[in-house]
Structure 1
C-alpha cells in the first residue's frame, strides 16, 4: 500500500476510519485509538491521507530514533568512542528530549561479523561492538496519554565502515530463529543477520549478541508490566529499521510477545528510510505472525531500493502469472508504505537524512488547530527539540556517490541469482 504525500490546502476532512469497530475521528484521543494507530487494522484509511494522530506518532518515534544519532560518540579521542556519550538516566534529557517521558532501561550493542578489505577505514574496530540503540519504557504519565505501557526499542542507522559493508552483503541466509521450527525458506540479508546475531566478547560494554540483549530485556519488561496493557514498538532509521524488523519477527516467531493472559502484545515497527530485509517467505511469515510495519520512504532515497535493486517484488513473476527461477532470491518489502518525495540539489545526501524525513512529515501535514482537532497538552508529547536530528552526524561521503554502489549491488545480485 503506497501513498505520495501532498499538503492539503485546507484541513477540513472528518476522519471516519473504522478498524475493529473503532471510529478514529478528529476529536479521538490517542489513548482510545492506540491499537489502530499501531496498525491493528493495517492502517486502512489512515495513510491516504495521513491521519493526524498517526502523523504525530510517526514524528514522535522518529525523534526517539534521532536521539541515537545525537548521543552517539564519534570522537576517536574519547573514551566512549563508538558508544553513547551519556549514562542511561541522562541520555534523553542530554539530547533535549526530557519531554519524551520514557525511561531508558538498557543500551544495545552490536558487532558486525565483517571486516573492511585492504585496511580501508577504521579497520581496528571493524568487528568490535558499538552502541546501536536503546530500550526504553513509557513513564506512568506517558502510559496514561498513550493508553498503554509502551516498550520502545530505538536503533540508529549506518555510521561506521563495517556497518556500511554489512549493508551490501546482499546474499540471503536462513534466519532460523526458532530451533523447534527453523523455517529454512524464511531468508534475510546476511549482513543484517550478522549484525543482529554476532557476538564480541572482547568489547568493554559487551554483554552478548545484539539479539540476546534485546530478547532478554524485552522479556524482562514484559514480565515487569504484566498487569498493564502493553505495546512493543520498534523504530529505526536505515540499517536500524532492518534490525527493528528482524527483532519484531524474532519476538513473534518465538512467542515472546505473549502476555500473562495468553494474548498477543502488538508489535509495531516504524521504519524510516529502510532497505528490504528478506524474501517473500519472510514477508509472509511476518504477516502471519501479526508484525505490523509502517515504512516511511522517500521515493528519491536509494537505500529504500536495496537490497533487491534487480531482483525484487516486481521480478518474481512473468506477466503476473509465471514464477521465475530466481524468485526465491528476490527481496520483498514488508508492511505498509508512506511515500515521501523530497530532494535538494545542493544537498544530495538529504534524500536519506532522518532530519529531512521528519521535517517533510511535519511540513506536509499541518496540525489541526483547536477548532478542527481537540489537541491539549496531554494529546501531543512535547519533546523539547526543534527539528529532529540536530547535531546528528552527516551521512558518509559514500552516500553521495551511491551510483557505483547501486551498480555493485546489481552485479552481486545477478551473480547470486546465477549461483556464482
Structure 2
C-alpha cells in the first residue's frame, strides 16, 4: 500500500491553519455533509502538563471525550536543569517506565522536526522539483506552523540519487529538473538565543527523513556488512562494519552537482566543525541527531561518525555530548559497531513500535537475540550478524483507543502514528492518556489509521494544487529559487575534514 506524506502540519504555532484552507479546497472538489465533515482544532503549541481541551477542540467526538483525562506531569523540573540526563548521560535509567514527562516532550520535539522533512518534501515524480524541499531554509519552520520551535536551519543535506537502494528513490518523469543527481535528505538546525537559554545550552540538531511512499527498500538491504574504514571513515578497528547500502548513502558523492558534489557525510562534518569551532566556539553545546525509518540508520551512523572523527571535540579537547533519538529504525551494523559506539560515549535512544517490521531488519536470522557462541562464529562472515545500538523504548500502537487495530504495515511504521502513541504512553501496562496538546487528527493526514467513529478524513493533508498557479491564462508549476536551497559548501572546512581525518 502506498502512502504519500504530503501533509504540512505540526503541533506548534497555528499548525492547522494552512490545512484548514486545504480541506476547504478539497471540500469544493468533493462536497461532504457539513455535519460529518471533521473540523480541525487550532492547537497552538506542544504544551506539557495539558491534554486536548474538550471545549476548545471541535475535532473531539463522543469517543474522544470519553478518553481525554488529565495526565500527571512533573512541573518542578526544567530542561536546562537536567538536559544531560534527558540526553542519555545515565542511559535513561528510570526514565522510560514510567515515562519521564520532560523526556517525552523532548522526543516529541525532535520527532516533530523529523516529520517536518516529510511535510516539506516534494515527493511527486511529475514535478520538476521532485526530490527537493518545497520551502527554503528560512521559511520551512514558519510555513509549517513551527515558528515557535526556536531553531534556525543552517544547512540542507543532500544525498546522491545514485544510491544502492533503488526502491528508496524514484526517478523524476521530466528531463528538465532542478537536479538529476541530488535528493534532499534532511537539515541541520541550531537553537536560537532565547531557546538556548531555556535548554541550558546551544543545541545543534541533525535531522534525517526516511522513506516517503514505500517500505520496499527493506528488500534492497543486501545483508552485506562493509567495514566503515573502507569508506574513509577513520575507524581504528577494521572489524567495525555497517550495512553496505546505508554506508553508500552516507558517503557517496556526485561530481558536477552543486547539491551533492560532496558526500552528505562531508556536508554534515564540515557544518558541525564550523559550528563547534567557529560560530559557537565559546558556548555550551550539544549535538542531537534524529531520524525516522532509513533516516534512523543515518542518524546512528552520523552520531558514530561525529564522535569517531572527533568533530564533536573542541580545540581545547573538551567533548560535546552526542545523542541520537531514532524512530522506527533498522539495525545498522554488527556487534563491533555497537561496542565502538558505546566506547565513544555516543548515546542512542530507539523508539520502536512492536508491530513495525522495519526495526527487525536487517538481521532477521542473526541478531542481538542470537546465542553469543553463534554470534561469535557468524561475526566473521561478510553477511555477518546485525545488532541494535543503544536503549530501546518499546511502544505498542494498540494501546491507543484512537487507532484501528487492523492497521497495515505502513500504518504501523507511520511517523505521525509514532508521535501519537508516544504522546499517550506512560509506561508498560498503563492506560493511554494524551500528555500534550496534540491533535489525534494528525495521524490521518497521510494515512487511514484512525477509527471511523472519530469521523476524521483519511489522507486529508493536501498540497494545494500541487503548486500549480494561473499565469498568463495558463496553469503552470510555480517557480522556485533553488539557489536559495543551497548552502555555501565551506570547501575549506571540507578540506580540513579530509586532511585531518583520513583513516
Q: TM-score range by the shorter chain?
A: 0.7 to 0.9
Of 133, 155, 167, 2:208 maps to 155
Of 71, 78, 86, 2:120 maps to 71
1:145 aligns with 2:198: yes
Of 383, 389, 411, 1:350 maps to 411
CA distance in 2: counterparts of 1:389 and 1:199, whole angstroms: 35
Deviation at 1:101, TM superposition (A): 1.0
- Please tell me whether the aligned partners of residues 114 and 162 of structure 1 are also in contact (alpha carbons under 8 angstroms): no
1:317 aligns with 2:372: yes
Deviation at 1:98, TM superposition (A): 1.0
CA distance in 2: counterparts of 1:127 and 1:221, whole angstroms: 30
Deviation at 1:204, TM superposition (A): 5.3
TM-score by length of structure 2 reads: 0.65
CA distance in 1: counterparts of 2:311 and 2:376, whole angstroms: 36
Deviation at 1:324, TM superposition (A): 4.8
- Please tell me whether the aligned partners of residues 321 and 346 of structure 2 are also in contact (alpha carbons under 8 angstroms): yes
Of 339, 342, 353, 1:298 maps to 353
Structure 2 residue aligned with 1:332: 387
Of 235, 260, 274, 1:220 maps to 274
1:266 aligns with 2:321: yes
Moved more, 36-45 or 74-83: 74-83
Structure 2 residue aligned with 1:417: none
Of 209, 222, 226, 1:169 maps to 222
Q: Equivalent residues in 2 for 1:18-417 (5 A)?
A: 27-111=76-160, 112-114=162-164, 116=166, 122=171, 128-159=181-212, 164=217, 168-176=221-229, 181-203=235-257, 205-223=259-277, 224-318=279-373, 324-328=376-380, 329-343=384-398, 344-348=404-408, 349-365=410-426
Deviation at 1:158, TM superposition (A): 1.6
Structure 1 residue aligned with 2:465: none
SS in 2 for 1:270: strand
Deviation at 1:167, TM superposition (A): 5.2
SS in 1 for 2:154: strand
The 1:179/1:108 distance shift into structure 2, 3 A limit, reads: closer
The 1:232/1:251 distance shift into structure 2, 3 A limit, reads: same
Deviation at 1:131, TM superposition (A): 0.2
SS in 2 for 1:74: coil
- Please tell me whether the aligned partners of residues 166 and 191 of structure 1 are also in contact (alpha carbons under 8 angstroms): no
- Please tell me whether the aligned partners of residues 273 and 301 of structure 1 are also in contact (alpha carbons under 8 angstroms): yes
The 1:138/1:10 distance shift into structure 2, 3 A limit, reads: closer
SS in 2 for 1:151: strand
SS in 2 for 1:284: helix
- Please tell me whether the aligned partners of residues 116 and 123 of structure 1 are also in contact (alpha carbons under 8 angstroms): no
- Please tell me whether the aligned partners of residues 70 and 392 of structure 1 are also in contact (alpha carbons under 8 angstroms): no
Deviation at 1:238, TM superposition (A): 0.5
How far does the alpha carbon of each residue in 1:297-336 deviate from its partner, in whole angstroms, 9 at most, with x for none?
0011100000011110122425xxx655213411000000
CA distance in 1: counterparts of 2:241 and 2:336, whole angstroms: 7
- Please tell me whether the aligned partners of residues 242 and 276 of structure 1 are also in contact (alpha carbons under 8 angstroms): yes
Structure 1 residue aligned with 2:476: none
The 1:86/1:394 distance shift into structure 2, 3 A limit, reads: farther
TM-score by length of structure 1 reads: 0.77
Moved more, 219-228 or 280-289: 219-228
Larger Rg: 2
How far does the alpha carbon of each residue in 1:251-296 deviate from its partner, in whole angstroms, 9 at most, with x for none?
1111110124321100000000000000000000000001100000
Structure 2 residue aligned with 1:410: none
Structure 2 residue aligned with 1:409: none
The 1:387/1:100 distance shift into structure 2, 3 A limit, reads: farther
The answer for unaligned runs of 5 or more in structure 1 is: 1-6, 14-24, 367-374, 396-420
Moved more, 153-162 or 231-240: 153-162
The answer for unaligned runs of 5 or more in structure 2 is: 1-66, 399-403, 428-434, 450-503
How far does the alpha carbon of each residue in 1:143-170 deviate from its partner, in whole angstroms, 9 at most, with x for none?
0111110000111002378992685222
CA distance in 2: counterparts of 1:107 and 1:257, whole angstroms: 20
- Please tell me whether the aligned partners of residues 72 and 82 of structure 1 are also in contact (alpha carbons under 8 angstroms): yes
CA distance in 2: counterparts of 1:285 and 1:107, whole angstroms: 28
Aligned residues: 359
How far does the alpha carbon of each residue in 1:204-263 deviate from its partner, in whole angstroms, 9 at most, with x for none?
533411111111111111121111100000000000011011111111111110124321
